[in-house]
A and B are shown apart, each in its own frame.
Chain A
Amino acid sequence: MNNRITLKLNNETRTVMVQPNDILLDVLREKLGVKSPKIGCERGDCGACTVLLDGKTVRSCLILAIEADGHEIVTVEGLSKESLTPVQRAFLEHNSFQCGFCAPGVVLAATELLESHPQPTAEQIKAAISGNLCRCTGYQSIIEAILDVPPKTGKSL
C-alpha cells in the first residue's frame, strides 16, 4: 500500500514513500528529517505542527501526507537557511519566546500574516496567531515583535 509522493519541501524537490493513512506531520519528522514542526496535541488544537502549504498555514497533524503530493511545504528550516527573516530577527531581539516549542509554528503564522498585511494591527496579529498556543509568554512579547517588523522592502519568500 505504499505510495510515492513528490513535494517541494523548503525549496527542494523530495520524493518519499508513504502509506495512505500517514499523517503529514509524521512523514515530515520521521521520513524527511524536518523536526521543527512539533507534536503537541495531534488534533489541530495547539498549532505546534504548523507548516506553510502553498504559502498558507496548515496544521500538519490534520493533513494526510498523500494530500501534500505535488504541493509546496515550507517549515522554519526553509525560512532561515541563509539568514533570519525580518520577523525571526524581531522575535530574537524582543526575547519573544521562552521554551521555544511553539516558536516554529508562530514564526510561520507571522510570516503568512506579513505576506498579506505588511503592517498589521495588534488585533490582526492576535487573530493570525490565535491558532498557535503558547503557555509561557502570555503572547505580549510575540505581538510586540511582529508590530516591530519593518514593512517589507525586498522580494517575497
Chain B
Amino acid sequence: MTTLKYVGESATRIDGLEKVSGAATYVDDLEFGPNLLHAEIVESPFAHASIQRIDTTEAEEVQGVVRVVTGKDFPSRFGLYMQDRFVFPSDRVRFVGEQVAAVVARDAQTAKRAAKLVKVYYKEIEPVLDLEQALKADAVVVHPDLGSYTRCPWFYPQPGTNIAHWRKTRKGDVEKGFQEADVVFEDTYTVPRYAHCAIEPHAIVGLYDLSGRLTLWSASQSPYTQRHVFAQALAPLGITHQDIRVVTPYIGGGFGGKAGVSMEIIGVALAVLAKGNPVKLRWSRSQEFYNTYQRQGVIARIKMGVKRDGTITAIEHTLHWDAGAYVEYGANVVNAVGLSATGPYRIPNVKIDSVCVYTNLPPGGPYRGFGYSEFHFGLESHINTTAKKIGMDPVEFRRRNAIREGDTLAYGAQMNPSGLHEAIDRVAKEIGWGEKEPSKDPRKAVGKGFACFWKAPAMPPNAGSAAFLKFNEDGSINILVSGMEIGQGFMTAMAQIAAEILTVPPAKIRVELPDTDRNAYEWQTVGSHVTWGCGNAVRAAAIDAREKMFAVVCRAHGCAADTLFLADEKVKCRTHPDFELPFKDFVIGGVQMAQGNFIGGPILGSGSFMPEFTSALSDPETSQGGHPNVHYTVGAAAIALEIDKETGKIKVRKAALAVDAGKAVNPDLVRSQIVGGMVQGLATVLYEDIRYDLNGRLLNANFTDYKIPTAKDIPDEIVPIIIEVPQPDGPFGARGIGEHTMIPAAALVANAVEDALGIRVKALPITAERVVLALLDIPYEDVRGSYRGFCFTGKPDAYAFRAEATKRKRAKGSPRSSSY
C-alpha cells in the first residue's frame, strides 16, 4: 500500500473557523421573519392517567393565539423501530411532562400564558414505577394495545404485559460450563438513568407552505430518518417523502439525544396545522431532561464460571431495563445489549436475557454507548471480582480471555480483526499497572482500575450511506452528504478521505450540512458508524469522480486510462511524464481541442455503501443464524485515582484509554473523542445523580442540581492511545470510535475504588456521598430518602429477575379516581 498523505494527518477541522468566529449557525439562530409563530406545550402532571376531557376554550380566546392543538387534532402514532409513541396522546398519559396539548401563538409569552388556560381533566391510573411490580402477573399494563403496534421484525413484544422486547442469546450450554468451572460467582449491578445534556436544547422550525411543501429546520443527528418517520406519521394527510424537506444546520451536541425523532414530531404537527406560517418549538432545559430520550436504567445479574487457570467457561447475563413510557428507540438499545453482553471475551457458553420493560418514567432511548456503558459497569466489575476469587491479576485475567479475530461471537458470527491485546498491554504500561504509589496524605487512599470494552454499531441491516461530490471551477470540491457534524469531526474526516483519493487538500474541500432535498442519503449519524459507512460512500464518490476525470482525459488526449494517475491536483500520465492537466483547467469547462471545441463537462462523483453481509434474521430463542452487527470496535482503559476518606471525594489523577480505530483518519480528532468521552463517562460515575420522586416526577431537571463536569472537575491527565488494526471493509481501514470512549468509565472507577478501599460498589453513581456511606458501612438504600434513580427501589441483591408476566393474557390498568 502506498503511503497516505491526508488520511492519518491531524488536519485542522474544516468547521473550526466557523465555530471560533461565532459564524456557526444552529437552528435557533435562523431568522424566519415577523410571521414566525411560537409554541408552548401543556404537560401531564401525572406519571399515568387517562385523559377524560380537554377544554381549550379559554386558551383559544386569548388574543394572539393562533391555534390550540390536542390529540383530537393529531391522533398519529410514530416511532423508529416500533410505533408506540403518540404525537399527542388522546387517551392516556404515560409520564410526567408528556405533551397533552400545545398552544401556537404570535409570540412566546402569549403562548406560555394561554397554555396555562388549557384545562385537562385526568383520571389517575396506578403508575408502573418499579421493575418488580411491572413484571408481576397482575401488573398494571402501560400499553394495552402493544400487540397492534407496527414494529421491526427483530423485536419480540409480549402483548398484555409490560415486556416490549426480550432479546435472548444462547450459545453452548451454560449449565455444562458452570459444571466445568472451578469457581462460579454471581452478583447484581444497578445503573440509574442519565441525561445527555447537550448544551443546545432541541429545536425545530416547521413551515408547511401554501403549496403543500413541508420544510423542517431541525436540530437532528438523523435528517433522513426524521423525514421518513415524519412521512409515516403524515401519511394519513397525503403528505409523502417528496413533500418533506429536512434541513439540519450545525447542532450543539447530540450524544444520541438528537437521534431518531422525539420532540420534533410535535413541531411537525403544529406546522402542518398552522399552514402558511413558520412555527418554532424550542425545548427548555427542563424539557430537555424529561421529554426527549433518557439513557435507560438497568438492573443486571451476572453469573460467571471460571477455571483456576483463568479460563471463563460460561456467562449468564440477565438485564431488566427500565425503558420508560415509550420504547420506539430504546428497545433497540436493549436488543443491542442482548447480542453483545459477553463483552470482548471468548466465552464458549453464553446465556443472555435482555428484557425491555415499559414503565411510567420518561422514554428511554439512544445515548452515546447505546447500552454498552450500562452493561460494561456490571461486567467489568464482575471480571475483577472473579479474577480476585481465583487469585489472578485482573489485567492478566482479561488478557487470557480477550477475544481474537475469528472467534465465534455469542450469536454465531465471527469476530473481526481487533487490537484488543495490544490495547490491554499499552494501557497497563501507561498506567503503571501493578505499581502502587501510596498517597503522602494519610487521609487519602489511592487505587487503580482497569477495564476493557467493545461496541458494535446497532443498525438495521440495510442502513445505507451515500455521497455526492462536485468540483468547482477552481478545482475545489463540495461534498454533499447527510452524515451529521455533531462535533465529532465528521466533516473533516470526510474531506480527508476524499482528499486522499483526489489529491486535493482538505482545506479546499467543503462538506455540506444535510438538506434532504440536495444532499445524498444517510440513514443516521449514530452508532459510531459514519466514519466507516459514510466514509465508504465518500471514498466511492471520489473514486467515481476520478474515473470520470480519467475518461475525459482519455477522450481528449487519446491516452489509456490505466496509464493515468492523480497527483497534486493534476491528472498525470505514467507513460508521458511531461503530461499534466490541473483539475482547475478542465473539471468544469472541459478540455479544449484543436478545433476549438471542448470535451468533458462538469465532473460529479457519486457513491453508495450498504453493509450487504448483515442480517437481523435469527432464531428468536437463541439469536443464532443472523449477522446483526457489522463489526466491533474494542479497547482498554485504566485510571489512577485518589479518594479523600473523610469526604468521599474522588480525584482522578490519571486516565489512559486505548481504542482500536482501525485507521485514525484524523488522530487529533480521535484523541479529542477519547478525552471528551472519558470525561463524559466519568461524569456518569462521579457527578450525575438523577432523582425522581416516588410519583415519577424528575426532581433535578437542570444544571444546578444535575451536575455535569466543569473545567475544574476533569482528571489531571488523560492519555489517549490509538491502536490501528485495520478494518478490512472500512475506508482506509477505519472504524468508528466515538461512543466507545465513555463505555469503560463506570467500571474503571468501581474497580479503582475497590483497589483503594477494599469496597465493591455495585450501584451507580459512585458519588462522594455514596463513598462515605460505604466507608461507614451504611447501606445506601437505608438512608437515601424518598427518591429513585430509575424504576427500582429495593435492595439489588434481593431482586428476583422474574418475568412472570410472560404467560398471562391481556390485562388493563385499573383506573383510580382522581381528577386534576
Contacts and interface: CB of A to CB of B under 8 A. Distances in A.
Interface stretch (B292-300, B433-441, B674-682): B674-682
Contacts of B200: 38, 40, 48, 99, 101
A137 B676 CA distance: 4
A134 B683 CA distance: 12
Contacts of B669: 95
Interface string B246-259: 00001111110000
Contacts of B342: none
A88 interface: yes
Contacts of B711: 125-127, 129-130, 132, 134, 139, 142-143
Contacts of A76: 21-22
Interface stretch (B264-272, B484-492, B605-613, B689-697): B484-492
Interface string A25-41: 00001000101101111
Interface in B642-689: 668-669, 672, 675-680
A99 B676 contact: no
B817 interface: no
Q: Chain A: interface secondary structure? A: loop
Interface stretch (B10-18, B333-341, B554-562, B614-622): B10-18
Interface in B442-501: 486-489
A42 interface: yes
A71 to B, nearest CB: 20
Interface in A51-98: 75-77, 79-80, 84, 88-89, 91-93, 95-98
Nearest to B253: A99
A93 B680 CA distance: 24
Given A103-B19, A125-B711, A135 B282 contact: no
B710 interface: yes
Nearest to B486: A99
B179 interface: no
A38 B629 CA distance: 39
A138 B714 contact: yes
* Chain B interface mostly: loop
B708 interface: yes
A117 interface: no
Contacts of B13: 92, 95, 97
B28 interface: yes
B757 interface: no
A103 B220 CA distance: 19
Contacts of A126: 710-712, 714
A133 B676 contact: no
A103 B20 CA distance: 6
Nearest to B706: A45
A45 B669 CA distance: 28
Contact of B488 (A36, A98, A138): A98
A100 B255 contact: no
Given A100-B24, A139-B714, A142-B711, A41 B16 contact: no
A136 B22 contact: no
B197 A135 contact: yes
A153 to B, nearest CB: 21
B412 to A, nearest CB: 37
B675 A141 contact: yes
A39 B282 contact: yes
B777 interface: no
A46 interface: yes
B198 A135 contact: yes
B578 interface: no
Interface residues of B, number: 55
* Residue from A38, A136, A142 with most neighbouring chain B CB atoms (10 Å): A136
Contacts of B28: 38-39
Contacts of B489: 95, 98
Contact of A141 (B197, B282, B672): B672
Given A139-B679, A140-B675, A40 B21 contact: no
Contact of B255 (A33, A125, A135): A135
Q: Which of B26, B28, B253, B489 lies at the interface centre, i.e. has the most chain A CB atoms within 10 A of its CB?
A: B253
A152 interface: no
Nearest to A34: B22
Contacts of B113: none
B25 A100 contact: no
B487 A92 contact: no
Interface in A1-41: 29, 33, 35-36, 38-41
A132 B708 CA distance: 11
Given A77-B22, A97-B19, A40 B199 contact: yes
A43 B198 contact: no
Given A127-B712, A135-B197, A138-B718, A35 B253 contact: no
B218 to A, nearest CB: 15
A89 B10 CA distance: 16
Find the residue from B252, B284, B703 having the highest chain A CB count within 10 A.
Answer: B252
Nearest to B21: A80
B712 A99 contact: no
A84 B12 CA distance: 15
A114 interface: no
Contacts of A42: 284-285
A100 B703 contact: no
B710 A95 contact: no
Given A40-B200, A100-B487, A95 B718 contact: no
Contacts of A88: 20-21
B150 interface: no
Nearest to A107: B20
A102 B712 CA distance: 16
B2 interface: no
Contact of A43 (B17, B285, B679, B714): B285
Given A88-B20, A97-B19, A40 B201 contact: yes
Contacts of B148: none
Interface in B1-57: 10, 12-13, 15-22, 24-26, 28-29, 31
A95 B252 contact: no
Contacts of B255: 135
B487 A136 contact: yes
B10 to A, nearest CB: 8
Interface of B: 10, 12-13, 15-22, 24-26, 28-29, 31, 196-201, 250-255, 282, 284-285, 486-489, 668-669, 672, 675-680, 702-704, 708-712, 714, 718
Given A40-B252, A95-B13, 20 more contacts: A35-B29, A46-B199, A80-B20, A84-B20, A91-B20, A95-B12, A95-B672, A98-B488, A99-B252, A100-B250, A100-B487, A101-B200, A107-B20, A130-B712, A133-B708, A134-B711, A135-B255, A137-B676, A138-B679, A140-B714
21 contacts: A33-B31, A36-B22, A40-B200, A40-B201, A42-B285, A45-B285, A45-B704, A75-B22, A84-B20, A92-B20, A95-B16, A99-B252, A100-B15, A100-B24, A103-B19, A127-B711, A135-B196, A135-B199, A135-B708, A137-B676, A137-B679
What are the 7 closest A-B residue pairs judged by CB atoms, nearest first?
A101-B252, A98-B487, A100-B19, A138-B679, A76-B22, A99-B487, A36-B22
